[in-house]
Structure 1
Amino acid sequence: MPTPPPAAPPRPLPHLLPALRSDLRAADYSVARAEEVLGPVAVGALRREDPAPARRVLAARTDAFSVLYALFTLGARPPRPALEQALPALTVDGAIALGLVREEADGTVAAQVDLSPYAASDDLGEIRWWIASDLSELATGAPLHPDHVLGVGGASLTLARITPRRRVDSVLDLGCGGGIQAMHASRHARRVVATDLSARALAFAGFTAALNGIEIELREGSLLDPVAGETFDLVVSNPPFVITPRGEESAYTYRDGGRAGDTLLAALLEELPAHLAPGGTAVMLGNWEISTGAAWDEHPRAWFAPAIADGVHAWVVQRDREDPAAYAATWARDGGVTTRDARWEPLIGAWLDDFEARDVEGIGFGYLLLRRPARPTTARLVAEEVHGTGSGTLGAHMGESLDALEHLADLGDEELLASRPVRAEDVVERRHLTPGAWDPMLIELVQGGGLARAVPLSQTLAATVGACDGTLTLGQIISAVCALTDADEAQVRAEETGRLRELVRTGMLQL
């Protein structure tokens, strides 16, 4: 039986939104309050998509927060008088007019949309918003409809975390969905444009922005079509990157781009560089197919070829990899289909057939970044697998790494050796020794922040990095180390200069 279509998106009626904001604030409708009321057990269960403990906690509570949270996130149907008490300024009639709820024949009230509190922090401080989206499976108990508009999922949080938050003039949120990236961007940009193919998604994004007092420009259309001829200082995108077999049973607008394999990202990255202003940055998430026997970065490298030809630096980071069966199971469950569902085996079979047809042995997930330099320079492509995450702000680290990539592009070896770098404060050295031995089997430089890289070093390079306090040039340090160790200086310079460049690019050494 097909999933019934979701309700219409809410309506941002200007005369009613102030009352809704007032009631949500009065109820302390926030993430902190949810954690306080529900407790760690119920909160942990919700993260596993199990609503039972939360429903148990809220069942006997009549305070405004509990009534609203149970209604909008868990599918509870309170009596009309209980909701009137929780929404004294807006009233139930106002909530109906906004399209948030509907009244049932038995006198209860049912949610039409999910309205969830949201909390985050970035370089600009703390965030407390309310996010509207279609009702989740927790509330409906049914699989998602293909036109489902997602709330703030894990991918959205990841993209928000890795995006640099520098002040810029213009930002494009490409494939905005419910609009969370556009809202984040509004905190550090004069102008934000948000595009999506889905009119429903744009309606939700518009409502959420209006509810939180945020101005964004919404445009409907496919990929970059709505911004033809325009350039931006920052482009953020959580595009519909999920690799999906063609067919109605597996297609979801919010995650499926409607093309075979990973070709949507290929097409997008071919066009995207033209929309970056000088000094502009693009930050995206993506999935890519890994063919049997091929390097993991074969597809991303091909995608970035047009950018490199256009003088734009490119950086791909593979954070995770799944085999085809695990990948299919992940996204089948994401759409609400489980192993108990009769559709499970046919759906997984369709995914596996699709991957086998293209000889795919794995699927990579990670970050795709571009930087158009402020002035013409020699473009470079960097591809790396990194699975860790350190302390500190990841968005700032990604921006600084792109800065370093741009700076190093035309910095000659002699200029690098004439610089006076400083070892980053979060970097430590780790040595692995056989018990009782004097000489280490392995020396690693370990990054406490950023992507928490661990880089193997030679004894000579370790000594060089250890002396980088800004006093001497790199060339002077290498000369001194070679004099102390009887190493051949010309050979050390030839072997280690490239490694030193990578330490600068990754932020372990700072120029």
Structure 2
Amino acid sequence: MTSIAALRSDLAAAGFTVDGLTALWGEEAAEALHRGQRVPAERALARRDAGPLATLAALFVLGRSVSREAAAAALPALGLDGAAELGLIRADASDVIAPAVDLRPYAFVDAVGPAEWWIVSDLGELALGGALPEDHVLGVGGASMTLSGLMLQRPVRSALDLGTGCGIQALHAARHAERVVATDISERALRLAALNAELNGIDGIEFRLGSMFEPVAGEVFDHIVSNPPFVITPRTDGVPAYEYRDGGMVGDSLVAEFVAGCGDHLNPGGVAQLLGNWEYHGTADALERVRGWVDASAHPLDAWVIERDTEDAAQYAETWIRDGGTRPGTTFDTLLGAWLDDFEARGVREVGFGYVLLRRAEGVPTLRRFERLHGAIGANQAGLGIHLGECLAAHDAQSALDDAAFGALLLTVAGDVTEERHLWPGADAPSAILLRQGGGFGRVVGADTGLAALVGACDGELSVAAIVGALAQLLEVDEDALRADLLPTVRALVTDGLLLLPA
């Protein structure tokens, strides 16, 4: 049995799973861990009898040292020597074993079905008790789960994970791609990513060292995913440059370079998805800057950019200084000053964060969408990749139709759409009508009486044109004018999944 197989056997035998850990210390402690607080979990462990699961949880999840005897009992197949050779623990002549990495279970559901992996990364801020080293390899965090949830899951022959880190996106991509190439500027990240692939029995991933698209020069892919080091960091002496988040460029240049250059590495119809930041300069609209990056591509690109949030310059700096493990104090204030000096010098007042989906067009681009969806979105964020795929298919299908052909369609209302009507007390007519999407991006669309009636009549029995004709008679308005008013919005509802095309 290989060392990796032995480790896998020990983890499985101990019940080292998401459900196992939740049962061990309870849901409240599990939620506290997601917030970066381990005290509730430690208190729960202290009240339980020691066993392999508790030992592994304390060692690899909480980052606490354990006794040599307990560690040996928790890793009987691998052994302590094997664990040290894999770089999982630090052992000395004492009877104490300390963790060298973070190792924890990760569960998810995608289009293939439910799955659970074990992911190795570097020890976090809680275990280290201070700021992170610059070569830190991040584990599965909020951003990485966001991107994996957004990932399109249609089967493809080839995929690229640019900036793989611990390898989580490459592992996800391997579930729908025959071949995956994963790149990173960090040799340590590539070693841990390869370890994670082997630990979870995932083949077909090739790991390459290098920056941006250099490791895949001249190659093209059907799908590119990237959680790149997009964090805007001042290029000032004394400011840490974390490999997992800082690309070494000024401002948002790294995202701009990715957007402008990804078309060179996409097959026609291929899709690139990434997370990114963009700067607001003065009174200019940052999404218009992103549009300019898309226009700068040497290849025509469809683009769908969704800004999810913004932070002013000070908030943004504070967020990422804390992310590196630095807490308020003298060093924190020095770093904050460096960030604010950089933003002020370049006229940056605010920074946006969001999702970028690009597709190499096979002709003239038909999708150019730059929108803001701030705040909470749909209930099933883990299924956004499936939703995005459905939205793209709906866009492609209806954008190829002229108004006459579109009007002949028999549409139906999606099952997660509800209607809200707001009335002033005693009023006969609503003051507002809202169409609310329960899944997907949780869109809320304002509707007038005509649009609400049209949507309500979409039961797959009448065509769009027939419904418009009936409404024109009922409302006593010109049919052509009503059609011109309603069809653009109806097309958008189809693209967004509130109305469904016939199967």
TM-score class normalised by the smaller sequence: over 0.9
- What residue identity is the alignment partner of 1:337? T
Please give the alpha-carbon distance, in whole angstroms, between the structure 2 residues aligned to 1:454 and 1:20: 48
Please give the alpha-carbon distance, in whole angstroms, between the structure 2 residues aligned to 1:360 and 1:408: 40
Aligned mate of 2:308, from 319, 330, 333: 319
Is 1:348 paired with 2:364? no
Q: Is the contact made by 1:378 and 1:409 (CA closer than 8 Å) also made in structure 2?
A: no
Paired residue for 2:441?
451
- What residue identity is the alignment partner of 1:26? A
- What residue identity is the alignment partner of 1:220? L
Is 1:300 paired with 2:287? no
Matches within 5 A, 1:200-349: 200-215=188-203, 216-247=205-236, 248-307=238-297, 310-339=299-328, 341-349=329-337
Q: Secondary structure at the match of 1:328?
A: helix
Is 1:376 paired with 2:363? yes
Q: Is the contact made by 2:162 and 2:225 (CA closer than 8 Å) also made in structure 1?
A: yes
Paired residue for 1:435?
425
Paired residue for 1:10?
none
Unmatched tracts of structure 2, length 5 or more: none
Please give the alpha-carbon distance, in whole angstroms, between the structure 1 residues aligned to 2:286 and 2:445: 20
Paired residue for 1:176?
164
Moved more, 227-236 or 26-35: 227-236
Moved more, 97-106 or 181-190: 97-106
Matches within 5 A, 1:5-24: 15-24=2-11
Please give the alpha-carbon distance, in whole angstroms, between the structure 2 residues aligned to 1:142 and 1:424: 49
Is 1:389 paired with 2:357? no
Q: Is the contact made by 1:194 and 1:218 (CA closer than 8 Å) also made in structure 2?
A: yes
Paired residue for 1:68?
56
Is 1:36 paired with 2:23? yes
Deviation at 1:490, TM superposition (A): 1.9
Q: Secondary structure at the match of 1:252?
A: coil
Q: Is the contact made by 1:313 and 1:372 (CA closer than 8 Å) also made in structure 2?
A: yes
Deviation at 1:367, TM superposition (A): 0.5
Give the paired residue count. Answer: 495
- What residue identity is the alignment partner of 2:317? A
Q: Is the contact made by 1:377 and 1:410 (CA closer than 8 Å) also made in structure 2?
A: no
Please give the alpha-carbon distance, in whole angstroms, between the structure 2 residues aligned to 1:405 and 1:446: 20
Q: Secondary structure at the match of 1:429?
A: strand
Aligned mate of 2:345, from 350, 357, 366: 357
Is 1:98 paired with 2:86? yes
Please give the alpha-carbon distance, in whole angstroms, between the structure 2 residues aligned to 1:18 and 1:421: 52
Please give the alpha-carbon distance, in whole angstroms, between the structure 2 residues aligned to 1:298 and 1:279: 24
Matches within 5 A, 1:113-192: 113-192=101-180
Q: Is the contact made by 2:130 and 2:326 (CA closer than 8 Å) also made in structure 1?
A: no
TM-score norm. by structure 2 comes to: 0.95
Q: Secondary structure at the match of 1:343?
A: helix
Q: Is the contact made by 1:377 and 1:409 (CA closer than 8 Å) also made in structure 2?
A: no
Q: Is the contact made by 2:67 and 2:96 (CA closer than 8 Å) also made in structure 1?
A: yes
Q: Is the contact made by 2:268 and 2:360 (CA closer than 8 Å) also made in structure 1?
A: yes
Matches within 5 A, 1:355-504: 355-373=343-361, 375-387=362-374, 388-392=376-380, 393-504=383-494
Deviation at 1:296, TM superposition (A): 4.0
Unmatched tracts of structure 1, length 5 or more: 1-13
Deviation at 1:222, TM superposition (A): 0.8
Q: Secondary structure at the match of 2:12?
A: helix
Q: Secondary structure at the match of 2:242?
A: coil
Q: Is the contact made by 2:119 and 2:139 (CA closer than 8 Å) also made in structure 1?
A: yes
Please give the alpha-carbon distance, in whole angstroms, between the structure 2 residues aligned to 1:467 and 1:421: 9
Deviation at 1:42, TM superposition (A): 2.2
Paired residue for 2:187?
199
Please give the alpha-carbon distance, in whole angstroms, between the structure 2 residues aligned to 1:379 and 1:466: 28
Deviation at 1:17, TM superposition (A): 1.0
Q: Secondary structure at the match of 1:69?
A: helix
Q: Is the contact made by 1:115 and 1:132 (CA closer than 8 Å) also made in structure 2?
A: yes
Q: Is the contact made by 2:121 and 2:139 (CA closer than 8 Å) also made in structure 1?
A: yes
Q: Is the contact made by 1:112 and 1:135 (CA closer than 8 Å) also made in structure 2?
A: yes
Moved more, 16-25 or 401-410: 401-410
Is 1:111 paired with 2:99? yes
Deviation at 1:202, TM superposition (A): 0.6
Please give the alpha-carbon distance, in whole angstroms, between the structure 1 residues aligned to 2:286 and 2:261: 23
Moved more, 418-427 or 63-72: 418-427
**Cα deviations across residues 207-248 of structure 1 (Å, max 9, x unaligned)?**
111111112111111111111222212111101111111134
Please give the alpha-carbon distance, in whole angstroms, between the structure 1 residues aligned to 2:151 and 2:32: 29
Please give the alpha-carbon distance, in whole angstroms, between the structure 1 residues aligned to 2:330 and 2:20: 39
**Cα deviations across residues 146-178 of structure 1 (Å, max 9, x unaligned)?**
110000010000011111222221111111111
Deviation at 1:22, TM superposition (A): 0.7
Is 1:25 paired with 2:12? yes
Q: Secondary structure at the match of 1:321?
A: strand
Paired residue for 1:11?
none
Instruction: Note closer, same or farther for the CA distance 1:292–1:432 as it changes in structure 2 (3 Å cut).
Output: farther
Q: Is the contact made by 1:427 and 1:446 (CA closer than 8 Å) also made in structure 2?
A: yes
TM-score norm. by structure 1 comes to: 0.93
**Cα deviations across residues 288-345 of structure 1 (Å, max 9, x unaligned)?**
11223222412221121135x7332100011111111111111111100111x32111
Q: Is the contact made by 1:73 and 1:136 (CA closer than 8 Å) also made in structure 2?
A: no
Runs of 4+ residues over 4 Å off in structure 1: none
Please give the alpha-carbon distance, in whole angstroms, between the structure 2 residues aligned to 1:474 and 1:253: 53
- What residue identity is the alignment partner of 2:26? G
Moved more, 409-418 or 147-156: 409-418
Deviation at 1:249, TM superposition (A): 2.2
Deviation at 1:377, TM superposition (A): 4.1
Q: Is the contact made by 1:371 and 1:402 (CA closer than 8 Å) also made in structure 2?
A: no
Paired residue for 1:508?
498
Deviation at 1:281, TM superposition (A): 1.6
